[in-house]
Amino acid sequence: MSPRGRRTQFKGWLVRQGVIVRLGFIIYGSLDTVSGGYLYDRKLVEYLRAQGDTVEIISLPWRNYAAHLVDNFWFRLWSPGARSWNFRQQAPAFQDFDILIQDELNHPSLIVANRRKHPYPVISLVHHLRCSELRPNWQNDLYRTVEKMYLQSVDGFIFNSQTTKNAVHNVVVNEKPSIVAYPPTDRYEQASSETEIIERAKSATLRILFLGNVIERKGLHTLLKVLRQQPSAFSLDIVGSLTAEPEYAYETQRYILVHGLSSAVRIHGPLDHEPLIKLLRQAHVLVVPSSYEGFGIVYLEGMAFGLPAIGTTAGGAGEIISDGVNGFLIEPGDADVLASRLKVLNEKREVLVRMSLAARERYLRQPKWEQTAGQIREFLQSFLGTIG
């Protein structure tokens, strides 16, 4: 039997045993980054390792988009006969992997590397496409061209939502194997009870929670325009990194000071676990009016605590939020409509209670991560022995 035949036979045996010997996972930066996309990646890695699989994280440094494109002149996944691949003195042994997963965020660095010979399938984990975000058409045309080349270079896809899958289909005709695997939403073991939700609605000031990195795409500026109009009617807690887009974060803080919102707005920076759970239990409504979300795991996590979610019509939020039932969907940047929706929740507390209970019910219907991650693992196993 040829070496390739023995390799395929061995991998077939691994499938029967339910084991993947080794997975590579390419990301930018740290897996511990606090955001929905990185949470998804982190939870997937934790699950695979818990099943006995070996997962090696290959972390590429964050730089600007142009610098990432330059990677294509020298970046290699694998070199025949080489014991390892060198990336600035880092040397993961790429040739030992059975499958290589790539966070699609890394797409500008990987186009040429994916097209070169490598002995394992390459699977792209797509949270959302850069070309789907709200920006001038000429910029998105550029991103679309680059992302199309990348999407054509991989062997299969893991999508975080049907919206993301459809977005990829709009960029490139996709007949490659894929799976829609919704993000983990059960990292907090206990959802708020109906009694807690009803009692919370009796408090006087409507407490708003913004949960997300302080970047322009998340739409915090739209929410602050509303608070500027009625600063005494609401309170706002902002939870998220201030370092992802430092200039935007600075302008946001300056806006709060200039317009006298400091008494109503509290900026906490990134939080997790008990400090975040405390704010989720205290809040009445989650507002993240993003210009685009591939899915929006944060909306479901808020719903675990009975928080109606206000998102936008752009992207995957509509897969979670039923407008007028468990939250509201507005057009990106529409501060006037956002103000009217918050006014309803503030002045008609029976509506707030009804929507809060509906939000909790929506969360409870969502498949648990153990189920979703198990489907991803089966999908990955289907690739064993297909290349090499």
Q: What is the pLDDT of residues 239-260, one digit of tens each?
A: 999 998 999 999 999 999 999 9
Select from 118, 333, 132, 295 the least CA-distant residue to 212.
Answer: 295
Q: Residue 362 in 3-state DSSP?
A: helix
Name the architecture of domain 3-185+368-381. 3-Layer(aba) Sandwich (3.40)
Q: Nearest-5° angle of CA 26, CA 37, CA 310?
A: 165
Select from 88, 83, 56, 57 the least CA-distant residue to 71.
Answer: 88
- Determine the pLDDT at residue 82: 44
Write out the DSSP string of 286-341. EE---S-BSS-HHHHHHHTTT--EEEESSBGGGGT--BTTTEEEE-TT-HHHHHHH
86 Cβ contact list (under 8 Å, min separation 6): none
Listed by start position, the domains of the chain span 3-185+368-381, 194-365
Tokens of 19: 């084991």
Residue type, 272: D
Residue type, 109: S
Average pLDDT of every residue of the chain: 88
- Residue written as token pair 């057009």: 331
CATH number of 194-365: 3.40.50.2000
Domains 3-185+368-381 and 194-365 agree in fold: yes
pLDDT above 90 covers what percent of the chain? 68
β-strands 327-330, 309-312 pairing = parallel
Give the integer Cα–Cα distance in Å for 125 and 179.
10
Split at pLDDT 50, 70, 90, the class of 12 is: low
- Residue written as token pair 């706002």: 236
For the purposes of burial, counting CB atoms within 10 Å of the CB of 259, is it exposed (0-12), middle (13-18) or buried (19 or more)?
Answer: middle
- The pLDDT tens digits of the residues spanning 21-59 come to 789 999 999 888 877 788 899 999 999 999 999 999 999
- The pLDDT tens digits of the residues spanning 201-226 come to 998 899 999 999 999 999 999 999 99
Q: Residue 61 in 3-state DSSP?
A: coil
Residue type, 129: L
The model's pTM: 0.82
- The pLDDT tens digits of the residues spanning 78-130 come to 655 444 444 443 444 455 789 999 999 999 999 999 998 888 999 999 999 99
34, 207, 223, 367 from 321: Cα distances, Å? 23, 19, 18, 16
Counting Cα atoms < 13 Å in the Cβ hemisphere of 58 gives 27
pLDDT above 70 covers what percent of the chain? 88
